[in-house]
Amino acid sequence: MKVILISVLLYVVVVSTNATTDVCIIGGGIGGAAVAYYLRDNYPGGSIRVFEKNDYIGGRLKHVIVDGFVAEVGGDAWSSANKYIVNIVKKLGLNTEKKERDIFGDPLSKNLGVWDGSSLLNADALVIEHILSDVRGILEEADFLLHLNKNYNTRGNGTSFASIDEFLLPGDLNRYTSIASSVFFQERSVSNVTQTKLLEPLLRCIYGQGLSAHVFASLVALTSMVGAASVAEGNSVLVERMLEYSGADVELGTPVRSVERRQEDDESSFVLRTDDGTNATETCRAVVLAAPIEYANIDWIGIDVSDTKKRKFVECYVTLVRATGIDATYFGRQRASDDVPFNIFTTASADAPFTVLQFESELPDDQGVLYKFFAPHAIPANVLDRIFTNVLSVTVQHWDYTFPILSPHAVNKGTYQAITPAGPVRLYYLNAMESVASAMEGSIIAGRNIAMLLAAVL
């Protein structure tokens, strides 16, 4: 009897190990979660497995809790103009909180400053001083939102796209991705001061890049300042809830080391080998790479992805500082106790050790004030001691890649990375979308599209 029972158990193990999963997703960030989320509705009943190399869900969405305050050290917020993420958050019943940085609602009360290395400029004064050029910029932003809505409306009926060029056609969005920000604004007579002391500091804050980036990035950065919101419990909770909704099996701490394509009769499949200590394999009908291929570190066996163009990425250090306050003399004020804006952007000429300094929260029980930096390099301790009156604690999150360099692309010339990098073999690449704009909404758009493409072939 024991022998029979053991044989049955072995049979069950073998069957479960060799069973084929419909879709394997490599990457447990918001893009991978979006594929799984939309597959539940587009391909109900399909089996989904997500492999995440980290020991947490969220990818480049991550938060820490400091004295009860939720502080984002990854993707910070989304805009009310981001239709898909707004709908998902509402559908999943997540609690959200507004980010107080809406420069279009009332710029005079939003406490924004710009540090140029020698003086701290008030954003409201810059707006008033260069009101005509700023109005032109705001009109361009309004026109951009109209074009963006045309794109949303085209995709609203379930229309998928096979390439990034095809995605950009509705609403003529490629008019924004094919031209540098500096050229675009110069052609529209936006003043040099507005460009270098308002638009570029904002672009540096959001994407860590200058006005050489395509203007789509600049206008998305402006859009991010309109009705910005985040999940109250942390933005990675959104990813967790999307995966829960999808019913996908999630494997944490499980990097995928190789993907092998196998052909049997008229049907091909993929075998994924993981590096979780067990050297396990997973057989899948389709694979989605939901991470930048430049950093995936995957051996592709029987799959030719050699034509995939490699991009350069921006490195980022997110630094949380708990201190008693800011030493205003660092920013040229006469006394350490003088007022400074809550949010301080920096110009490219400032030679500052950070791109933005944000006030986060006054902490309870006299635990100090929490601030957050975004910076391209680690900020030395002696610099932090100069910026703050008394540093109480420091937390650093280093991202070795955050955003690709957002260079202009020629219109409809096939210069973007391919969504199907190996041709029609059911291998899909989500992060090609990041060359348009690396944002939560962009990842969701890409994930929704791949879910539709998968549903059509599975």
CA atoms within 13 A on the CB side of 40: 13
Contact 72, 65 (CB under 8 A): no
Query: What are 387's two structure tokens?
Result: 């910026």
Spatial distance between the Cα atoms of 441 and 79, rounded to a whole number of angstroms: 9
Helix (H) or strand (E) holding 373: strand 369-375
The CA-to-CA distance between both ends of the chain, in Å, stands at: 42
* Enclosing H/E stretch for 203: helix 200-207
SS3 of residue 264 by DSSP: strand
Contact between 291 and 404 under an 8 Å Cβ cutoff? The reply is no
Cα separation, 385 vs 254, in Å, equals 40
Q: Burial of 449 by CB count in 10 Å (0-12 exposed, 13-18 middle, 19+ buried)?
A: buried
Residues 6+ away with beta carbon under 8 Å from 221: 202, 203, 205, 206, 207
Among candidates 370, 443, 407, which has minimal Cα distance to 36?
Answer: 443
78: phi then psi, degrees, rounded to nearest 5: -130, 170
State the CB neighbour count (10 A cutoff) for residue 308: 16
**Domains of the chain in sequence order:** 2-60+233-311+410-457 (3.50.50.60), 63-231+312-404 (3.90.660.20)
Q: What is the pTM of this model?
A: 0.91
Q: Which two tokens stand for residue 46?
A: 């399909």
CB-CB contact of 339 with 48 (8 Å): no
SS3 132: helix
Print pLDDT tens along the chain (458 aa). Answer: 444 333 333 333 333 345 799 999 999 999 999 999 999 999 999 999 999 999 999 999 999 999 999 999 999 999 888 999 999 999 999 999 877 554 444 444 457 889 999 888 877 666 656 655 666 666 788 889 999 999 999 988 889 999 999 999 999 999 999 999 999 999 988 888 889 988 899 999 999 999 999 999 999 988 887 778 999 999 999 999 999 999 999 999 999 999 999 987 667 899 999 986 677 899 999 999 999 999 999 999 999 998 899 999 999 999 999 999 999 999 999 999 999 998 899 999 898 999 999 999 999 988 999 999 999 999 999 999 999 999 999 999 999 999 999 999 999 999 999 999 999 899 999 999 999 988 999 999 999 999 999 999 99
Cα gap 32→113, rounded to integer Å: 36
Tell me the backbone φ, ψ of residue 106, rounded to 5 degrees: -160, 85
